[in-house]
Amino acid sequence: MTDEKFAEFVKIVHRLRKECPWDMEQTHDSIKEATLEETYEVLEAIDNKDYEELKIELGDLLLHVVFHSVIAEENKTFSLEEVIDSIQRKLIRRHPHVFGQTEVENSKEVTKNWEQIKLSEGRESVLEGVPKQLPSLQRAHRLQEKASKVGFDWQEKADVWKKVLEEIEEMHESEKAGNKDDLEKEVGDVFFSMVNYARFLGINPENALRRTNEKFISRFDYVQKKVKETGRLISDSNLEEMDKYWEESKKLS
């Protein structure tokens, strides 16, 4: 892509801010949910391996990056040039094995150095930088990853699984005790330990659960379709019938 092409795109956004009533009214806050939605649409295109759609969604996401930057320029908080300059300097600073003299043997050393560099930049905790707005499974995964990079981690996968079983048992004990608040905490511990085990398996839990959600939707839609073919609503069916169609759906996916 030429510099002229990008400059033309930025000019279009500036013009929209001046001439379109809707665009003129927008603020960082008013479009932040749309920014998040565009990010998820990028993920959906990747999950579907729909690269034509991915091209479109990345364009939408790029629009939001430029749009936020243009708003910031108008507010005199920062410019698009400063956004680009900031990420360029960060990439160079955090890749001394590419732009400096540091030597690394593998990607694990790269990520370890990355966390050390971030601490040297003034962060007080290796856990800083994990957004609270992340889905909880993904946030747990990132928190565990960051702690792991400085050595705070289990040594053996078997021990992680033992912890999962221990947390499940504690959840059952809390259920028997009947304290809802304690039970909620224990359920959270079960999820957290399972996220940890997934990490040791090399599985991103957010991706895994997203796939399972889609699988459930597909199979349950099949159940609803089969019931509808009998001229009834799904609410008129019973568990035995629905389970029969559910098993059928599993053979199709």
Statement to judge: residues 10 and 85 lie in one domain = yes
Statement to judge: residues 155 and 189 lie in one domain = yes
Handedness of CA 170, 174, 180, 182 (dihedral sign): negative
Residue ending a domain, choose from 71, 92, 113? 92
Statement to judge: residues 172 and 191 lie in one domain = yes
Cβ density class 186-222: b for 16+ within 10 Å, e for less: beebbbbbbbbbbbbeeebbbbeebeeeeeeeebeeb
C-alpha 29/C-alpha 16 separation (Å) is 18
Phi, psi of 121 (to 5 degrees): -80, -5
Phi, psi of 232 (to 5 degrees): -120, 165
The answer to whether residue 107 is domain-embedded is no
Give the chain's end-to-end CA distance (angstroms, integer). 41
Residue 229: per-residue pLDDT: 94
Phi, psi of 129 (to 5 degrees): 95, 0
Place of tokens 């999950």: 47
Number of domains in the chain: 3
Statement to judge: residues 195 and 229 lie in one domain = no
Statement to judge: residues 26 and 68 lie in one domain = yes
The domain containing residue 162 runs over which residues? 136-203
The answer to whether residue 122 is domain-embedded is no
65 CB-contact burial (10 Å; exposed 0-12 / middle 13-18 / buried 19+) = middle
Residue 1: per-residue pLDDT: 57
Statement to judge: residues 35 and 82 lie in one domain = yes
Statement to judge: residues 23 and 83 lie in one domain = yes
The answer to whether residue 149 is domain-embedded is yes
Residue 113: per-residue pLDDT: 81
DSSP state of 134: S
The answer to whether residue 47 is domain-embedded is yes
Statement to judge: residues 7 and 85 lie in one domain = yes
pLDDT tens digits along 88-105: 999 999 899 999 888 888
Cα dist. 151→91, 96, 110, 116, 127 in Å?
24, 21, 14, 12, 13
Statement to judge: residues 194 and 212 lie in one domain = no
Sequence-separated (6 or more) residues with CB below 8 Å from residue 98:
none
pLDDT at 123 over 90: no
- Tell me if 167 sits within 8 A of 187, measured CB to CB: no
Statement to judge: residues 199 and 241 lie in one domain = no
The answer to whether residue 12 is domain-embedded is yes
pTM of the model: 0.68
Percentage with pLDDT > 90 across the chain: 76
Statement to judge: residues 88 and 7 lie in one domain = yes
> CATH code at 154?
1.10.287.1080
4 CB-contact burial (10 Å; exposed 0-12 / middle 13-18 / buried 19+) = exposed
pLDDT tens digits along 185-225: 999 999 999 999 999 999 999 989 999 999 999 999 999 99
State the alpha helices, DSSP H only, in 48-135: 51-74, 80-93, 96-99, 107-120
DSSP SS3 for 123? coil
pLDDT tens digits along 7-22: 999 999 999 999 999 9
C-alpha 136/C-alpha 174 separation (Å) is 22
More confident residue, 128 or 234: 234
The answer to whether residue 40 is domain-embedded is yes
Q: Which two tokens stand for residue 221?
A: 């839609």
pLDDT tens digits along 237-250: 999 999 999 999 99
